[in-house]
Structure 1
Amino acid sequence: MAIHKLDLGEFDEIDYYLIAIHTSLEDYRLAYFINQKLPVNLSKSENEIQIKIKEGEINFSRFYYNDEENTASWNLIQNVNEVIHIKDGNTQNLFSNVTMEVATKAFLLPEFKKVDYFLKIENNEDTLDISNVQLILNTIENVSTVYIVETSLIKSKNNLIF
């Protein structure tokens, strides 16, 4: 009987760039400024990224642009969001009949808690100068820092599959 081996090495290849963005801007304003600075047209996607955590399900906003000319797709993704859940008061005290709403911060990539947004660029042909994109993003007002994330450091890579 012959033994067949499957080489799954090519499935482990990372075919995207991930840029971390630290800013106080709202997602729609950041997408607007990126559209002005780069030759993209990011628009709000109805397909938000949904992740389940112990407090419930949470959605992260996503702006998307498909560049057919350069065979690249651009995703601006929110990294920080809040989930509000109701906590019942089980103790006997003055506030025992009060239900409280508790807000918990959730992260798309928990290992990067200080990052506000990620720009995920999927490019199949390596025609993109990623360091130039980083320099252009650094020129946006109210963006404090921008850097390229080493994809081997990402522990929760499954959250980036959408």
Structure 2
Amino acid sequence: MEVLKLSLSDFDAIDYDLIAIHTSLEDYRLAYFLNQKLPILLSKSSDFLEFKTSNGSAFFSKFSYHEDATDEEWTLIENKDELVEGIINTPTDLFSQEKEKIIYNVYFLPEMKKVNYFLKVESTVLRLTEIISYLNTIKQISTAYAVDVKNLKSKNNLIF
């Protein structure tokens, strides 16, 4: 009888590219500019990426495009969400009935806190260097660069 062994490294194959984007644009504006520069049509997904934290649930917006003919998949993901928690003050005077707000920042990829958005590209005909050069021609993007996914601690967040 033959024994078949599987190792976890067989399932760790990364078949996508990840691009970090630094910009102050809102997600819908960035998707608009990406649609103009790249041969894609990103549209807002109705489902958000949800992460549960000790302070509550964080929701990250997602824009996606899928081309059936070439089996391309493009996903634009925001990296930061703010959780607001209200705390009621104990009244010490007449005007202290207001709630204090504590804001927690939650990141999609916590080790890359300065990145605003990520563009996940799966099986495209364009080379990664071409995509990055197109992105860097958009005036509103400060910079865009490739991310080495193998070195990310939270790369499991990219599985959705």
Q: TM-score, normalised by structure 2?
A: 0.89
Which shifted more, 78-87 or 11-20?
78-87
Matching of residue 160 in structure 1 with residue 158 in structure 2: yes
Q: Work out the CA distance in 2 between the residues paired with 1:156 and 1:8.
A: 17
Q: Is 1:133 the counterpart of 2:101 in the alignment?
A: no
Deviation at 1:93, TM superposition (A): 5.8
Q: How far did 1:106 drift?
A: 1.1
Stretches of structure 2 that go unaligned for 5 or more consecutive residues are none
Displacement after TM superposition at 1:2 (Å)? 6.7
> Which amino acid is 1:23 matched to?
T
Residue aligned with 1:115, SS: coil
Please report the TM-score for the alignment, with normalisation by the length of structure 1: 0.88
Question: Residues 121-161 of structure 1, C-alpha deviation per residue, up to 9 Å, x if partnerless?
Answer: 122xx633111000000011110000000011211112111
Aligned residues: 159
Cα distance in structure 1, aligned partners of 2:151 and 2:88: 38
Q: Partner residue of 2:22?
A: 22
Segments of 5+ residues of structure 1 without an aligned counterpart are none
Deviation of 1:100 after TM superposition, in Å, equals 1.8
AA in 2 matched with 1:135: S
In structure 1, distance between residues paired with 2:75 and 2:120: 5
Shift of 1:101: 2.0
Amino acid at match of 1:44: K
Question: Post-superposition, which runs of at least 4 consecutive aligned residues in structure 1 deviate over 4 A?
Answer: 1-4, 92-98
In structure 1, distance between residues paired with 2:159 and 2:139: 30
| AA at the equivalent of 1:33 | F
SS of the aligned residue for 1:145 comes to strand
Helix, strand or coil at the partner of 1:106: strand
